[in-house]
Amino acid sequence: MIDFGEAYNLVIKNAVTMPVEKIPFTESSGRILAADIHSDMDMPPFNKSAMDGYACRMADISDPLRVIETIPAGKVPERKVEPGTCTKIMTGAPVPEGADCVIMVEKTKSIDPDTIQFTEASTAGNICFKGEDIKAGDTVLQKGSPIRAQEIAVLASTGCHEVDVFRKPRVGVIASGTELHEPGGELPKGAIRDSNSYQLAAQVEKSGAKAHRFGIVKDTPADIQEAIHKLEKDTDIILISGGVSAGDFDLIPSEIQKAGYEIVFHKVRIKPGMPLLFAVKNEKYCFGLPGNPVSSFVQFEYLIKPFICALMGRTYCPLQVKLPVGMAIKRKKTYRDTVIPIQIRDGKIHAMEYHGSAHINALTHADGFIKIPREVEAIKIGESADVRFI
């Protein structure tokens, strides 16, 4: 049995980055950049007006100004601003030659149809200058960045119509257990419905990878081998829930080895999820997860999701905040890290009613988790803990 930190480092160390593919930027949301993106132009590409108003010379703002032209956004100015003149200008339009400021339309009055007067004593420049945001050639997005709506906007503005991204890892999901049945219909006595494979497939998709749900596999060597061999042809990672502990029908560790995988570790000092297994075969990977649904959920979030991100060239940085504890959180056994579902109320952490690793319904009401380190018996009221949101 190894510490969770060691398990995490071993998993990340074994991650070999996925191949790179080129796709249209319009299809890249949720993907990870495989190369830096550089701007092909200055931004703004010209001096532009920051508001609707009148472009003029700062030296002339106390005098009446004759309007010589109107410039909507998208039109190139035709006339130079001379002393005593101005140009009516719209937000985003190019500032004409000769002008060094834009006065707000709300701070002017009309003297006659062709003349205006500034009604204030002073004004800001109100000009967005060429290249003040980005210079041509600047790196605007870095390799390893996730592509979100804001990155899509940057790709569009830099003219990057195709983008290099890491291929999505393909993840096969197996639920092992002869007692398992598909959802729907009446259950035979002693049977339970498979929830793990559906839960894990959803977590895989949310992480940015592609899920292939194989379904239920019975606790027999032949069925387990068949499932592994079928999935590894078309996937990069296999997730198997159930059958990884020490019971008579916990066959997954031995069958993974028979399939040619080398077990990197089996059993981690963490609760829930101690029987966790990780195995490697060339650049194929297999995780054996406990059958209890909270255990598989937690270990996916804490270990497998960062691994999937590493395969796509990204360091996973979960959303996490430090908050005070609103109630004492105690435990009896301290020989392993313990992950506890929590709710946040009035800005404080409150442990949920939680009956153990089979109580998956508790997670539907949870805001996140806290992890209590080994040897720590309690977190007292007012002490702080890191909340990891889910």
Task: Name all domains of the chain by residue range, CATH numbers in brackets.
Answer: 2-17+167-311 (3.40.980.10), 20-43+132-166 (3.90.105.10), 48-128 (2.170.190.11), 320-389 (2.40.340.10)
**What distances in angstroms separate CA 278 from CA 96, 116, 225, 231, 256, one per listed residue?**
65, 75, 17, 16, 10
Per DSSP, what are the bridge partners of residue 77?
none
- Distance, CA of 272 to CA of 292 (rounded, Å): 9
Give the C-alpha separation, 275 to 293, whole Å.
13
How many CA atoms lie within 13 Å of 142's alpha carbon, on the beta-carbon side? 4
- pLDDT value for 250: 85
Q: What is the mean pLDDT of each run of 10 residues along the chain (390 residues)?
A: 97 98 97 96 96 97 97 97 98 98 97 96 96 95 96 94 97 96 89 95 97 95 96 97 84 96 97 96 96 94 97 94 95 93 95 83 92 94 94
Residue 184 has a pLDDT of 84
Dihedral in degrees, nearest 10, Cα atoms 139, 141, 145, 151 = 180
Give per-residue burial for 184-222: e unless 16+ CB within 10 Å, then b.
eeeeeeeeeebbbbbbbbebbeebbbebbbbebbebeee
Q: What pLDDT shows up at residue 122? A: 95
pLDDT given at position 118 = 97
CB 57 within 8 A of CB 108: no
Can you read off the two tokens belonging to residue 86? 């101005």
Q: How many CB atoms lie within 10 A of CB 73?
A: 13
